[in-house]
Each structure stands twice: as structure tokens, then as C-alpha cells.
């Protein structure tokens, strides 16, 4: 099922790329930036009949002539192949996430994340796609009990899956297993270029009509709810994530994993900073710092900075997110 423009568009000098999860928080910004840069984009959605997934994308500049939306099922190889075939590059963003504790983590999160990622990579290989940019997460990097004390977390750190399972942090399990499966697959396939981005908590203004998981968490914080997020390490602006994804696609020298955060900080830093910025809101400060393992750092995403990414300052990201919430009547 599909809507909108054709793929072979003469007004798309940069060619055709596929974005899985194109209707999501990050995906929508990525589609917008790709259209701005002259790409033709094939973006996948869960339900092509749902205007909450399609309307904001179809309203983007350039969408009428260079955007095609396809309904895709990650667990259906034929559906994935239809989305990927003919594209020069693939941005694989879509991954299952739940706001509530899943009843069946294996079926709801782990299997779709791993099998879906492998289906995308197989389709890319079979279609001769030159480069796949995978959006993983810092959730695939921590917790890591073997990481040296006093060393800043970097691209070499992998999350301990067994600890994540014990803590029932199923999203972290799914991202870690999916990324490892992707690297294992890419290592066996000559000619398939894989590069990965690992963002921290993603904030910023939304193009979508509803909030995603990270924005939902931040909204609850602004509304006065006490938030426990022991594995918090830092945040990043959604617009910087979109720019970084494109930089990784357009830079042949970019290889491996790429931590994507404005700074490494602790939850106490984050909550206190937001409380200082918005004293009129009932933001609860963190009373006890339990994150001694987090080594604070400025500019931790050096590989992306070397590619030309200039990260949005924390205050600007928070301000633009709050302004967006207010414009939508959420606070």
C-alpha cells in the first residue's frame, strides 16, 4: 500500500533513499531534512490509512513530488523488500517500543527488533543498496559493569544484556540484540556498508501529532512526576540526530558506532537544570545522585563533530521542546 509521488523523480539529484519508521519523531525530521537536501524519499509507516502517520509528512516541502509513503511490516520480508528495492541507501529507524511494561517482551519487543533489522539488511543486500545507517541507542551501551571507572562512555561500550533483563529494561535488551545482530550480519556480507548511530535521550520540537516515549517521559517530568531513570546519560536534539544520520550516509569514511549526545551528564544535572529553567513548573529535583558511574563530559560525540555536526545547546533544545508542548496545549 502506498501514497504520493513516484520514485524516479528528475527533481531528485541525490537519488532515492528509504527511511523505515518515517512517521516517527526522529523519522519525520529525517524525512524533512532529506527532502530539503534534494533526495527522493520512500518512507515506511505502520498504517497508511492513519492520517496521524501520513498527514504531517505529506505537508512537507517537496513531498508532493519526491516523497512516497509505504505501509511496511518489519516481520514480512516481502513487505520490507518492497520498501528497500531500488533505493541507493537505507536509514533503518523503526523499532518497537512500549510505554508500559510488555506482557510478552520476546514477542512484543525482542523478536520484532532483531528479525526486523535482519530483514532490512537482507533486503538491502539483495537490492544492492550501498549503505545502511542504523539508528541504535545509547541503551545498547549501558549498563556495562566491566567499563573502567573514571572513563567516559564511548563507542566501545556494550550494554550487559543479562543485567538489562534482570532490571526488565526490555527496550535496552532489544536495541542491544538488534545492533549486535546487525554487526554480525554485516561482517559476513561483503559490499554491505553498515554504520550506526547511538543517540541519548532524544528531545526537541515534534512534527508528529503525538509524543513518543522520550517526549512522554520529559512531559511527565515537567508535570511534576518523580522520574527514575538510572541509566540516563544525556540528551540530544532531534534535529541534530537527523543531521547526524545524513552525515553518516553522505560520508564514506564514517565507520562503526557513533555516540550521539550533546554532553554526558547525570539525571541530577538534567532535572535540576530543567527546574532552574522553568521555576513556574512543578519539576521535581533529584534528591540523591545514584549515578557515580556516569563520568560527565562535554562534546562526547567527537566522531560526529569531526563530520561537521554542531550540537544544539541544552538550553535551546529544552526551550524548543517546552515551547512545542505549550503550542500543543500539553502543558
Give the dihedral sign, CA 140/76/202/261. positive
Question: In this structure, what are the phi and psi dihedrals at residue 292, rounded to the nearest 5 degrees?
Answer: -60, -20
Q: Which of 116, 44, 131, 123 is nearest to 78 (CA)?
A: 123
Residue 276 in contact with residue 322, Cβ under 8 Å? no
Residue 311 in contact with residue 301, Cβ under 8 Å? yes
For the record, the C-alpha cell of 307 comes out as: 563530520
Coarse DSSP helix, strand, coil percentages of the chain, rounded to the nearest 5 percent: 40, 15, 45
Active site residues: 175
Residue 17 in contact with residue 42, Cβ under 8 Å? yes
Residue 224 CB burial class (10 angstroms; 0-12, 13-18, ≥19): exposed
Residue 157 in contact with residue 295, Cβ under 8 Å? no
Q: Are strands 16-20 and 40-45 parallel, antiparallel or unpaired?
A: parallel
- 3-state secondary structure (DSSP) of residue 70: strand
Q: Greatest CA separation found in the chain? A: 58
Tell me: cis bond preceding 143? Omega within 30 of 0 counts: yes
Residue 84 in contact with residue 90, Cβ under 8 Å? yes
Could you tell me which residues come within 8 angstroms of residue 87 by beta carbon, excluding any fewer than 6 positions away?
16, 17, 18, 42, 127, 129
Amino acid at each position: 500500500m502506498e501514497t504520493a509521488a513516484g520514485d524516479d523523480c528528475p527533481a531528485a539529484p541525490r537519488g532515492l533513499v528509504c527511511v523505515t519508521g518515517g512517521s516517527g519523531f526522529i523519522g519525520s525530521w529525517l524525512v524533512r531534512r532529506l527532502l530539503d537536501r534534494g533526495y527522493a524519499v520512500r518512507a515506511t509507516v505502520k498504517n497508511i490509512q492513519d492520517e496521524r502517520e501520513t498527514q504531517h509528512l505529506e505537508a512537507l516541502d517537496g513531498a508532493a513530488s519526491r516523497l512516497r509513503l509505504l505501509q511496511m511490516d518489519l516481520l514480512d520480508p516481502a513487505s520490507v523488500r518492497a520498501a528497500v528495492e531500488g533505493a541507493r541507501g537505507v536509514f533503518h529507524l523503526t523499532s518497537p517500543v512500549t510505554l508500559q511494561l510488555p506482557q510478552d517482551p520476546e514477542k512484543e519487543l525482542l523478536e520484532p527488533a532483531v528479525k526486523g533489522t535482519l530483514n532490512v539488511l537482507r533486503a538491502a543486500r539483495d537490492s544492492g543498496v550501498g549503505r545502511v545507517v542504523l539508528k541504535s541507542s545509547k541503551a545498547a551501551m549501558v549498563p556495562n559493569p566491566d567499563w573502567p571507572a573514571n572513563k567516559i562512555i564511548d563507542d566501545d561500550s556494550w550494554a550487559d544484556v543479562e543485567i538489562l533483563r534482570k532490571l526488565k529494561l526490555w527496550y535496552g535488551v532489544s536495541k542491544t540484540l538488534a545492533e549486535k545482530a546487525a554487526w554480525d550480519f554485516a561482517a559476513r556480507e561483503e559490499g554491505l556498508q553498515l554504520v550506526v548511530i547511538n543517540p541519548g535521550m532524544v528531545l526537541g520540537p515534534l512534527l508528529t501529532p503525538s509524543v513518543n516515549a522520550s517526549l512522554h517521559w520529559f512531559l511527565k517530568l515537567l508535570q511534576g512526576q518523580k522520574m527514575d531513570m538510572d541509566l540516563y546519560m544525556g540528551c540530544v536534539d532531534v534535529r541534530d540526530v537527523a543531521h547526524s544520520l545524513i552525515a553518516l550516509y553522505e560520508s564514506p569514511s564514517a565507520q562503526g558506532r557513533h555516540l550521539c549526545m550533546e554532553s554526558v551528564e547525570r539525571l541530577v544535572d538534567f532535572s535540576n537544570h530543567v527546574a532552574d529553567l522553568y521555576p513556574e513548573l512543578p519539576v521535581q529535583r533529584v534528591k540523591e545522585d545514584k549515578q557515580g558511574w556516569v563520568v560527565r563530559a562535554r562534546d562526547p560525540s567527537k566522531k560526529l563533530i569531526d563530520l561537521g555536526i554542531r550540537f544544539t545547546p541544552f538550553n535551546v533544545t529544552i526551550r524548543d521542546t517546552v515551547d512545542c508542548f505549550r503550542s500543543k496545549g500539553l502543558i
